[in-house]
Structure 1
Amino acid sequence: MTQRTVLVVLFDGVQSLDVTGPSEVFAGAEKHTPGTYRLCTASPDGAPVRTGSGLTVVPDRALSDAPGPHTLLVPGGEGTRRPDPRLTDWLRRHGPRAERLVSVCTGAFLLAAAGLLDGRRATTHWAHCGRLAREHPAVEVDPDPIYVRDGHVATSAGVTSGIDLALALVEEDLGRRAALTVARQLVVFLRRPGNQAQFSAQLAAQTARREPLREVQHWVTEHPDADLTVEALAARAALSPRHFARAFRTETGTTPGRYVDRVRLEHARRLLEDTGDGVEEISRASGYGTPEAMRRAFVRALGTSPAEYRRRFRSVPTRS
């Protein structure tokens, strides 16, 4: 079996979990199947680096002495705001030689600065997607998924999504059983689908300032199977449908319909992840009415069917 070298780049201001999360995944896979991964860390000059949380990390070597990697992993952190030119220059020269280029969180900015994301679809932490798009217009930035694969380049969102991506790569390399073993050791899901949204409906929308609108938001999340038309929600807020729709969008940043769609999708996801309820039962409980309506919503938003979504998360018996 071919051993794959995973080279993790270090720099001052790096996010420690961006380094240790994926590293633990690959190290766990190496323990499960010896001889499959070789982990190596390197900083621009081989000197210790200080992470954003104040920890000191000692690299194995300098980048100039680093082995040619199969997987080159670039973490994020505050240090990506003013990157070391030695690092971006090294990435520009050596990045294209790696069989896989991987970034975690704002590590995407380092890949972009080195020109390695030009013409590619990529993501980063949702709070920084706008900046990535502005500073690097040649990159097609997708703010929604927890990770994006474009050819041999993979970019991920915030901290824990780096673990999801690393598990997906282990599954690709060694199979589902090995990835599942590592996931169980780390007490995480085998892997969330890359198309899963980065945050919940409640986080995606702002909380309305006015009490009637806040009450409607809470009521929607607690009753996804109810009549959630604009007319019905406007009646709960004691507003006309037109006034309600305008006020809701102004105060939450999204339309009532889109908010309802997100709540229902999130509710269905949780039931698929945490229960053994059948798809038909979940579709009714989540307000879709029919399994086909729920399937269309999942494919549109996540690029996968409810059945496939559940398979990736859990192995639970379902009730017909």
Structure 2
Amino acid sequence: MNKQLKIRHIVILVAPDSTLLTTVGPLEVFAKTVDQFNLIQDKVDFNYKTHVVSMENTKLINTSCGLPILTEGCYDEIDYPIDTLMITGLARHLEEFSMNKMLEWLKQQSKTIRRICSVCSGAFILAEAGLLDGKKATAHWSKNEELAQSYPLIDVQIARIFIKDGNVYTAAGITSGMDLALALIEEDLGQSFALHIARWLVLYLKRPGNQSQFSAYLDYKSIGNPSMRKVCEWILEHLREDLTVEALAEHVAMSPRNFARVFVRELRITPAKFINKLRIENACQHLIDTQFSLDEIASYCGLKTAENLRRQFISFMEVTPAQYRKSFQSSLVDA
């Protein structure tokens, strides 16, 4: 006889003109989990039930790409205990919404909800409700500066994929909502099952929250200044060398002072920090793709020693190289 499972209600709260993927991405992850629950139902005492709920008094929500979503109804019609609430991304400015009533509802619900989450610019709703005050949080990279300026009590993390601070989770966007959903499932059901769901969804490489939203490599590929693009390409091919500002400036026939000024203007980062990002990203790839020792990887990437690699890695990624390697290599093997 099958045991009776408790229900954990997962509510995805959708704003008008929301970005579609911030809704259907996490929804698909949880839906696939429910579909595969028979694999672990003897080990747990609960199952999920998903709900897509409107932020306004209408069931039909138009998304920013033009494809509408038919929700169950308005948030104020919810008559069940919410386990996890996920607020999707906004395509419009917050001022365009009339949401005082909804914000009050959110503040009340926050006292009993186990986990409160946002995806992309949905973080602005949590911020407006005061639920991010004093917490680390993130949003889409194009919105983080606005988030920090509009809500100075929030410790905005510029480039993170997602962040957990207490029971509040914020994800960058747009597909990072799927990364966050997988992390929530891993919390509840373990890494092995979360990776099983990732395989089904062809999310073969599960990104942790401390992974960057964007890479230094992609940053330089979009540079319009040909001299800066040229020197960035040269840096990538010479990471093992001693890359001083003087040496880089000489490579493009500029004075060191003018080179540093133009570099910061074009990339919005100093040469030293850019080089360090490239070296860390290069080390990440070696940790995943090879069995090289930390000393070998440090040498290949220009970080010289394993101790320096470890120190820089913790500063940038907030995990040790060994933890990063274990997480990613196990994901690849299991996938």
Q: Shared fold (TM-score greater than 0.5)? A: yes
Match for 2:199 among 178, 184, 190?
184
Per the alignment, do residues 13 and 290 of structure 1 end up closer, same or farther by CA in structure 2, a change over 3 Å counting? same
Task: Name the SS of the counterpart of 2:111 in structure 1.
Answer: helix
Counterpart of 1:32 (choices 33, 36, 43) is 36
**Which residue of 91, 101, 110 corresponds with 1:78?**
91
Cα distance in 2, alignment partners of residues 22 and 207 from structure 1: 30
Residue aligned with 1:193, SS: coil
Question: Residue 167 of structure 1: which of 169, 173, 182 is its match?
Answer: 182
**Contact 1:193–1:309 (CA under 8 A) maintained in structure 2:** no
- The answer to whether the 8 Å contact 2:87/2:119 transfers is yes
The 1:202–1:245 alpha-carbon spacing in structure 2 relative to 1, beyond 3 Å, is same
In the superposition, relative to structure 1, how do residues 134 and 214 fare at CA in structure 2: closer, same or farther (>3 Å)?
Answer: same
Q: Distance in 2 between matches of 1:207 and 1:227?
A: 25
Worse-matched range after superposition: 266-275 or 254-263? 266-275
Partner-residue secondary structure (3-state), 2:142: helix
> Is the contact between residue 13 and residue 78 of structure 1 (CA under 8 Å) also seen in structure 2?
yes
The answer to whether residue 81 in structure 2 is matched with residue 68 in structure 1 is: yes
Aligned amino acid, residue 175 of structure 1: G
8 A Cα contact 1:167 1:190, kept in partner: no
Structure 2: which 5+ runs fail to align?
A: 39-45
Give the share of equivalent positions with the same residue, in percent: 39
Alpha-carbon separation, structure 2, partners of 1:289 and 1:174? 40
Q: Secondary structure at the match of 1:295?
A: helix
1:51 correspondence with 2:58 = no
TM-score (normalizing by structure 2): 0.87
Runs (5+) with no aligned partner, structure 1: none
Moved more, 199-208 or 86-95: 199-208
Change (3 A) 1:212 1:80: closer
In structure 2, the CA distance between the partners of 1:271 and 1:56, relative to structure 1 (3 Å rule), is same
Q: How far, CA to CA, are the matches of 2:117 and 2:227 in structure 1? A: 45
* Partner in structure 2 of residue 19 of structure 1: 23
After TM superposition, give the deviation of residue 294 of structure 1 in Å: 1.1
Cα deviation per residue 1:292-319 (whole Å; 9 max; x = unaligned)?
22111110111111111122112369xx
Residue in structure 2 matching 1:115, options 130, 133, 154: 130
Change (3 A) 1:256 1:204: same
- Computed over aligned residues only, the root mean square deviation of the Cα atoms, in angstroms, reads 2.2
* Structure 1 counterpart of 2:212: 197
Q: State the alpha-carbon separation in 1 of the partners of residues 93 and 204 from structure 2.
A: 29
Secondary structure in 2 matching 1:254: coil
Equivalent position SS for 2:82: coil
- Given that 2:220 and 2:232 are in contact with CA atoms closer than 8 Å, whether structure 1 keeps it comes out as no
Query: TM-score, with normalisation over the residues of structure 1?
Result: 0.91
Q: CA deviation at 1:204?
A: 4.6
- Equivalents in 1 of 2:143, 2:93: separation in Å? 11
Equivalent-residue separation in structure 2 for 1:42 and 1:223 (angstroms) = 52
**Partner secondary structure for residue 175 of structure 2:** helix
Separation (CA, whole Å) in 1 of partners of 2:13 and 2:222: 39
Residue 90 of structure 2 aligns to which amino acid in structure 1? G
Q: CA deviation at 1:68?
A: 2.0
Greater displacement, 54-63 / 200-209: 200-209
Superposed CA deviations along residues 150-181 of structure 1, whole A, max 9, x for unmatched, are: 10001110112111111111111000111010
Counterpart position of 2:9:
5
Q: Which range is displaced more, 206-215 or 50-59? A: 206-215
Structure 1 position 31, deviation (Å): 2.2
User: Which residue identity does 2:133 align to in structure 1?
Assistant: D
Are 2:15 and 2:89, in contact at CA under 8 Å, matched by a contact in 1? no
CA distance in 1, matches of 2:233, 2:113: 48
Amino acid at match of 1:8: I
Q: Which amino acid aligns with 2:12?
A: V
